[in-house]
């Protein structure tokens, strides 16, 4: 018995080696097939090393600049950016190290110009964020620098221990993590899926290799003459499947796993109900916002006439199209569809894209007229869309996040004067946001 154990040692080592080789091969292949992850991890890392020099300039901001940056950030950037987490745009922590000020300033002033210039980093991040265009800001260089100072101060505040060394030394790792975290939830989910597939493949390869090795070892042993009775018994032992079936533990385990899978699937299903971010149906007429609102700069309210006045933004009737198309492009087959609709006295069957469930109350005029929010903040770069898609998730969390972060526009409205005074007395450091005014109370949005 002892001698057998000793002599099987080399086989065991061989088995171990083989399975590691198989493991290595499998993971090498799968990493190769996911270039998005590895490439993105490396590119920003390379630039991270060059940035700290510029960062020093940005971080020397004094308290006044940081305070100014705070206000500017909340007023202009907070709808889409947070310091530590991905909102609509990337988390801005570490931006001063990632990018020099000479890049950040033109980017904030006009990001699409930087993208159009072919700047490698800009193009990459633009694509990474599903080509969502960041709006242009008419801010001065000093104002943008103060925003960066504020971001730098914020990130240091929250991670006082060795935040710096981590970011410089781990530049590449941080950037890699960024790439993973940067995608939307869908991106993250895809990444997890990929990881699961890799794991399953590796496990299958391992099991198959082990079975093959066990069989080889058995064959080798069978050929030997010096085995005693017990060894032979051990060698020819068969696995008894019925025992497995009878085992309470195994049965319990199988039942548990089944229940978990069912639970997971149903939770996923429930969560997905009503979530249709990115929904982009084909419309009955190839109407392009890019052409009308973009190139020809027709005001949104020319067609969506009620958007500043009432709860709903209306979809224009065919008559509004005719204001122009009785003269313009009258021969186009797409325009003929408008004529046909009018002749038949039937409305054009536009497919509705945005649709909140009935239980929620949303009012356009409250946001566009009173709140002064741009259409693009919620609907994205409509003026660049040939076919409209749903840009924002339209979930309750999305509404509430914005209400928490957006300062209420109270200037020149005497109604708010006392409220703001009271608020500032109690917690002056926090701005008077929509939620300070009760904008996160259930009854504001639910009937």
User: Which 255-284 residues touch ligand HEC, going by CB under 6 A?
Assistant: 274, 283
Least separation in angstroms between residue 407's CB and ligand HEC is: 8
CB-facing half-sphere around the CA of 317: CA atoms within 13 A: 6
Cα Rg of the chain, angstroms: 31
27, 47, 110, 133: which one contacts ligand HEC (CB under 6 A)? 133
- Which residue, chain included where needed, has tokens 């085995």? 227
Per the CB < 8 A criterion, the answer to whether 381 and 133 are in contact is yes
Which of the residues 368 through 387 are near ligand HEC (CB under 6 A)?
368, 370-371, 373, 375, 377-379, 382-383
Q: Which of 205, 382 has the CB closer to ligand HEC?
A: 382
29, 117, 140, 332: which one contacts ligand HEC (CB under 6 A)? 332
DSSP states along 187-214: HHHHHHHHHHHHHHHHHHHHHHHHHHHH
| Sole window of 29-37, 153-161, 164-172, 354-362 interacting with ligand HEC (rule: CB under 6 A) | 354-362
Question: Is residue 45 involved in binding ligand HEC (CB under 6 A)?
Answer: no
Q: Which of 230, 352 has the CB closer to ligand HEC?
A: 352
56, 328, 422, 430: which one contacts ligand HEC (CB under 6 A)? 328
Residues binding ligand HEC: number (CB under 6 A): 101
Tokens for 424, please give them. Answer: 């500032």
Per DSSP, what are the bridge partners of residue 433?
407
Q: Which of 242, 297 has the CB closer to ligand HEC?
A: 297
Least separation in angstroms between residue 378's CB and ligand HEC is: 3
51, 86, 96, 335: which one contacts ligand HEC (CB under 6 A)? 335
Per the CB < 8 A criterion, the answer to whether 67 and 112 are in contact is no
Q: Which of 252, 347 has the CB closer to ligand HEC?
A: 347
Closest CA to 358 of 415, 274, 430: 274
Q: Which of 15, 78 has the CB closer to ligand HEC?
A: 78
- Helices 171-182 & 185-222 angle (0-180, nearest 10): 110
| Residues 79-108 as x/- pattern, contact with ligand HEC by CB under 6 A | xxx------xxx-x--x--xx----x--xx
Question: Is residue 65 involved in binding ligand HEC (CB under 6 A)?
Answer: no
Q: What are phi and psi of 83, to 5 degrees?
A: -70, -45
- Helices 171-182 & 35-48 angle (0-180, nearest 10): 130
Distance in angstroms (rounded) separating the CA atoms of residues 359 and 350: 24
| Sole window of 16-24, 164-172, 191-199, 390-398 interacting with ligand HEC (rule: CB under 6 A) | 390-398
Per the CB < 8 A criterion, the answer to whether 387 and 282 are in contact is yes
Question: Is residue 123 involved in binding ligand HEC (CB under 6 A)?
Answer: no
Tokens for 356, please give them. Answer: 């909140």
Which of the residues 298 through 327 are near ligand HEC (CB under 6 A)?
298, 300, 302-304, 307, 312-313, 315-316, 320-321, 323-325
Least separation in angstroms between residue 129's CB and ligand HEC is: 3
Least separation in angstroms between residue 165's CB and ligand HEC is: 20
The answer to whether the Cα torsion of 433, 436, 442, 447 is positive or negative is: negative
Least separation in angstroms between residue 427's CB and ligand HEC is: 18
Which of the residues 25 through 44 are near ligand HEC (CB under 6 A)?
none
Q: Which of 26, 300 has the CB closer to ligand HEC?
A: 300
Distance in angstroms (rounded) separating the CA atoms of residues 80 and 402: 9
Per the CB < 8 A criterion, the answer to whether 98 and 175 are in contact is yes
Residue 207: C-alpha distances to residues 99, 202, 212 (Å): 47, 9, 9
Question: Is residue 355 involved in binding ligand HEC (CB under 6 A)?
Answer: yes
Tokens for 267, please give them. Answer: 């939770």
Q: Which of 201, 400 has the CB closer to ligand HEC?
A: 400
26, 54, 58, 287: which one contacts ligand HEC (CB under 6 A)? 287
Which of the residues 395 through 434 are near ligand HEC (CB under 6 A)?
395-396, 398-400, 402-403, 406, 408-409, 434
Closest CA to 213 of 383, 17, 73: 17
Distance in angstroms (rounded) separating the CA atoms of residues 151 and 99: 13
Question: Is residue 150 involved in binding ligand HEC (CB under 6 A)?
Answer: no
Per the CB < 8 A criterion, the answer to whether 174 and 40 are in contact is no
Q: Is 418 exposed, middle or buried (0-12, 13-18, 19+ CB in 10 A)?
A: exposed
Q: Which of 19, 155 has the CB closer to ligand HEC?
A: 155
Least separation in angstroms between residue 234's CB and ligand HEC is: 59
């Amino acid at each position: 018995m002892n001698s057998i154990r000793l002599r099987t040692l080399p086989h065991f080592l061989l088995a171990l080696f083989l399975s590691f080789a198989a493991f290595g091969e499998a993971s090498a292949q799968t990493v190769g097939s996911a270039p998005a992850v590895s490439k993105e991890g490396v590119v920003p890392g390379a630039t991270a090393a060059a940035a700290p020099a510029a960062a020093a300039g940005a971080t020397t901001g004094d308290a006044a600049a940081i305070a100014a940056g705070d206000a500017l950030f909340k007023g202009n950037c907070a709808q889409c950016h947070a310091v530590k987490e991905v909102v609509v745009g990337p988390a801005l922590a570490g931006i001063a190290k990632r990018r020099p000020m000479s890049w950040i300033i033109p980017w904030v002033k006009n990001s699409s110009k930087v993208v159009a210039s072919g700047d490698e980093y800009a193009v990459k991040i633009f694509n990474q964020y599903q080509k969502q265009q960041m709006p242009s800001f008419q801010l001065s260089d000093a104002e943008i620098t103060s925003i960066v100072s504020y971001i730098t101060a914020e990130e240091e505040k929250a991670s006082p221990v060795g935040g710096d060394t981590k970011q410089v030394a781990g530049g590449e790792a941080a950037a890699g993590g960024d790439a993973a975290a940067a995608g939307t939830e869908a991106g993250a989910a895809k990444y997890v899926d990929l990881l699961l597939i890799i794991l399953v493949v590796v496990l299958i390869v391992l099991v198959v290799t082990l079975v093959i090795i066990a069989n080889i070892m058995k064959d080798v042993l069978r050929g030997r003459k010096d085995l005693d009775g017990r060894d032979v018994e051990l060698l020819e032992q068969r696995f008894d499947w019925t025992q497995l079936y009878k085992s309470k533990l195994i049965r319990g385990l199988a039942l548990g796993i089944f229940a978990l899978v069912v639970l997971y699937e149903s939770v996923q299903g429930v969560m997905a109900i009503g979530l249709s971010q990115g929904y982009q149906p084909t419309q009955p007429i190839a109407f392009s916002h890019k052409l009308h609102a973009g190139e020809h700069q027709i005001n949104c309210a020319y067609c969506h006439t009620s958007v500043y006045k009432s709860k709903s933004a209306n979809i224009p009737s065919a008559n509004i199209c005719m204001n122009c198309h009785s003269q313009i492009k009258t021969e186009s087959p797409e325009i003929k569809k408008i004529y046909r609709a009018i002749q038949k006295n039937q409305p054009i069957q536009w497919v509705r894209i945005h649709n909140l469930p009935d239980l929620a109350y949303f009012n356009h005029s409250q946001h566009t007229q009173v709140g002064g929010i741009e259409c693009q903040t919620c609907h994205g770069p409509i003026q660049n869309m040939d076919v409209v898609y749903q840009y924002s998730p339209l979930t309750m969390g999305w509404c509430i996040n914005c209400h928490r972060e957006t300062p209420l526009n109270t200037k020149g409205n005497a109604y708010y004067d006392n409220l703001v005074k009271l608020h500032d007395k109690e917690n002056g450091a926090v701005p008077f946001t929509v939620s300070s005014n009760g904008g996160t109370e259930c009854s504001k949005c639910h009937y």
